[in-house]
Amino acid sequence: MIQVPPSLDITARTKAPGEYSTNPNTIKARLRKMNLSGAKKVEEAARTADYKAMTYARKTVRAKPEYTRASDSEKSAMLEETMRDTMEKRRARGQDTMSKMAAFRAGMYRDRDGVTGPQTRVPISAFLEDNGFVPSRPSRAPQRGATAGPGNIDLANRVPLTPNSFGSAPVADMDDVGSTFVGANRLLQAEMGHLRTICQIVVASNNNIRELDLSNIAAEVNNEKNHVRDLEVRVNQLEGVVHALQNTSLGSILDRVNELENIMDELKSKVGSGCDAEVTKMREVMGCLKGALDKVGGFI
């Protein structure tokens, strides 16, 4: 029988913390991870796998010539896009942390004993938590990048939320899972399909309500615009009437008034005004009487 060296034997036990490294911090961290059990252990291993996948994706992008020629903002955008695509693919295959945790809670995922991995707090970890690819740690502050924000906006992708935003449910990794859980997996997938349909209906209804509100507002705006146009027409008509009055009736009235003023001035110049006018009238009367008496023979 061929003897397999311990270094090549994949079934060999995991090295103890003291055998793995002599660094006290490494020994302490490795011992802590080996003592984890249940959901904590599954989550830790899944986070490590996501971290390694993201690291490889970032190295691939940095090796491209266009990354070297890009500006700082363009480099950040390229890295974020690659990281997002990588995690979306892992989620579609059920390989991300959230899918593995869901499978573990459903009893369809088994963690391997003695498996540990490094976990360093780098921007990759923050990206995974901020975009909902892994559960948020209790000690961290509330994350800004929720997958769905107010106003039906997908904050992770900065695009409006539509019924098509809800993709297919993540499929858990079914490796090493017996046929006992196949039925449970089908029921779980069916339930996820029902929930996804409900989400699509809710989003579609919300969009319809928004479109209806916008159409009503547009109709009211059009009515107000028509009312303003009517007022403008009436104002223009009134301006025309006033202009016509100024050019015709008012001008003739002013001419008549001027004529009357001239006549009054002539009368005043001939007769006078006040007491002088009365005296003048009496003189005219007395003159008329004297003339009449003279005609009949004068005074007796």
Arithmetic mean of pLDDT over the chain: 71
For 262, the token pair is 């001239």
The pLDDT value recorded for residue 145 is: 43
Residue 148 pLDDT level (bands cut at 50, 70, 90): very low
Give the up-direction half-sphere exposure of residue 75: CA atoms within 13 A in the CB hemisphere. 13
How far apart CA 113 and CA 41 sit, in angstroms, is: 9
The pLDDT value recorded for residue 152 is: 47
Tell me the domain boundaries of the chain.
14-144, 146-231, 248-296
The pLDDT value recorded for residue 20 is: 65
Q: Which amino acid is at 154?
A: D
For the cut 80, the answer to whether the pLDDT of residue 154 exceeds it is: no
The pLDDT value recorded for residue 122 is: 38
With beta carbons less than 8 A apart as the criterion, state whether 192 and 185 touch.
no
* Angstrom distances, CA of residue 290 to CA of 156, 282, 296, 299, 300: 121, 12, 10, 9, 13
Q: Which residue has the higher pLDDT, 176 or 72?
A: 72
pLDDT digits (tens, 9 = 90+) for 229-266: 888 888 888 887 777 766 666 667 777 778 878 877 77
For 274, the token pair is 């006040």
For the cut 70, the answer to whether the pLDDT of residue 4 exceeds it is: no
The pLDDT value recorded for residue 94 is: 85
Bridge partners for 154 per DSSP: 159
pTM to 2 decimals?
0.34
Enclosing H/E stretch for 256: helix 249-271
Residue 62 pLDDT level (bands cut at 50, 70, 90): very high
